[in-house]
Structure 1
Amino acid sequence: MVLSLDRLLVFGVLMLLAASGFSPNAAAEPALRIVTEELPPYNMTQNGRMTGMSTEVVQAVLKEINVQAPIQSMPWARAYELALNDSNVLIYSIARTPERESLFQWVGAIAPTHWYLYSLADRPVKLNSLDEARAYQIATVNQDVGEQYLISKGFRVGEQLQSSTKYEHNYRKLKVDHVEMWISNELNAQYLVRQNGEDPAKVLVRSLPISDLSSDEALSMAFSRRTPVETVEKFRAGLEAIRRNGVYDAILRKWL
């Protein structure tokens, strides 16, 4: 049988693709996407590039496993939604909680985090329990772990909780007395206060520690459920490698 010129061309292209290891399924798989938020000093944009303690850990893992992928910063609720529903999405710095455990494929811990309900030193709030916080207005960030935690304890957005899209908005709310307390990660709270030219030790009061959210290994990298297991395992191996070779500890010492 004599093949037409068009068929010969198609046949030749298919042979070249097969030789290069191309498969239709591979072509359909979306490229790796890494998403995060502005949560200094963990992840933040400076001079047009992503940096921060957690970002440097992620970048070290990428280098270790020889993978290149852009990091996108966006509001946390959007990043969280992408990681919940899309394939091939890596999200960081995400707190690993029992409620989130089955929602993602967890790579591993990348940074410590310690959470508090804060008030201002000139308007201090003293709490003996979380239940006492129900009498106050509390600044939160939409869909972040602090807000999710308080909601799980019966607090309501629009009643006790005043939700924002950015962490710096909450410190401003506290300063101008729109809220009486602020639930925040300690390093982030200290960073934002210093950025405002103030001393955290003089300005902030730890009204109540949130021990359920606090750990030296609470912030993690995680993949969406619709990500190939092979990809997840590759990143786990990379994270373990930088822990063994000292790169991970060096990054934390730089930032802590």
Structure 2
Amino acid sequence: MPAISGSGVPTPLTLIRRVAQGLLLLALMPTALADDRLYIYTENYPPYNASTTGQGFAHNAGDISGICTDMVKEMMKRVDYEYVMKMRDWSLAYDRVQGRGNHALFCTARTDEREGQFQWVGPLAPIKWTLFAAPDSDIELAALDDAKQYKIAGYKGDVMSDYLDGEGFDVIMSVSGEQNPRRLTLGQADLWVTDGLVGPLVAEEEHGITGLQPVLVFRETPMYLAVSNQTDPGIVEDLQRGLDEARKSGALDDIISRYQP
């Protein structure tokens, strides 16, 4: 029973307790409301993810397009969650998503090395691991090991770059891959590792470079939405259901056809 003064007015101690309880409820309410909000990150990696403003970053979903982006948006239409979508440098986004509940990242290559680092929703679209040479290059590769004699342009956090680096290749790492076509034409690198669709597109749109030579495609990997391990598995199941429904409806095939040359 609460302590009450003889006049029927709550004592100071009772008031303090009531205020404390009220503040606790207020503190808990935003958390409860935010539990279902998802924070989804991507990078500037056209045609899979691209900024519509011409910048290498974006603060909302309306400024981001691309094959994987449109697939994720179609998925989100079919689930009952609020979400925030942002575009950042890949290494920054990758680090930010890990360890935080309700955070996710796309398009993320699903590899054996990454399998336990995330919960996975997908597949979205596949990437082809390709080594490109400059337009006037005479490099020919019969197998991946033939590339060990060359300098390869890549970027930090990229699954293809990290793989080659781990296998002992001479990889020149940068924060992003946008300058790598120029490295080829300037002779700063002999080869550039990137996706087969991304390479020519970035080279032409960013630098006006055409005629890059795809000298070797050495692997193909499905890309996914990578969801942090701290996220409720029930949310991940809902997202997978939403993506499956989008695929079954034909929406994902329509997206791919829009971006095909």
Q: TM-score range by the shorter chain?
A: 0.7 to 0.9
Query: Where do 4+ consecutive residues of structure 1 move more than 3 Å?
Result: 1-14, 22-31, 196-199
**1:139 equivalent among 142, 153, 156:** 153
Residue identity in the other structure for 1:71: M
Task: Return the alpha-carbon distance in structure 1 between the equivalents of residues 213 and 34 of structure 2.
Answer: 52
Tell me the equivalent position of 1:254.
258
Tell me the equivalent position of 1:164.
174
Q: Give the Å deviation of 1:23.
A: 6.8
SS of residue paired to 1:148: helix
What pairs up with 1:26-175 in 2 under 5 angstroms? 26=32, 31-47=37-53, 49-155=63-169, 160-175=170-185
- The answer to whether the 8 Å contact 2:37/2:82 transfers is no
> What's the CA shift string for 1:160-194, capped at 9, x where partnerless?
11111222111111121110100010111121133
Alignment RMSD: 2.6
- The answer to whether the 8 Å contact 2:196/2:214 transfers is no
TM-score by length of 2: 0.83
- 1:11/1:153 Cα in 2 relative to 1: closer, same or farther (>3 Å)? closer
**2:224 equivalent among 217, 220, 224:** 220
Structure 2 gap segments, 5+ residues each: 5-9
Identity %: 31
Structure 1 gap segments, 5+ residues each: none
Residue identity in the other structure for 2:159: V
Q: More deviation in 185-194 or 24-33?
A: 24-33
Q: How many residues align?
A: 241
Tell me the equivalent position of 1:204.
212
TM-score by length of 1: 0.84
> Which one has the bigger strand percentage?
1
Structure with the larger RCO, 1 or 2 (CA within 8 Å, 6+ apart): 1
Q: Give the Å deviation of 1:91.
A: 0.4
Q: Give the Å deviation of 1:150.
A: 0.5
Tell me the equivalent position of 2:241.
237
Task: Return the alpha-carbon distance in structure 2 between the equivalents of residues 12 and 225 of structure 1.
Answer: 32
Q: Give the Å deviation of 1:148.
A: 1.5
Q: Give the Å deviation of 1:13.
A: 5.2
- The answer to whether the 8 Å contact 1:36/1:91 transfers is yes
- The answer to whether the 8 Å contact 2:38/2:81 transfers is no
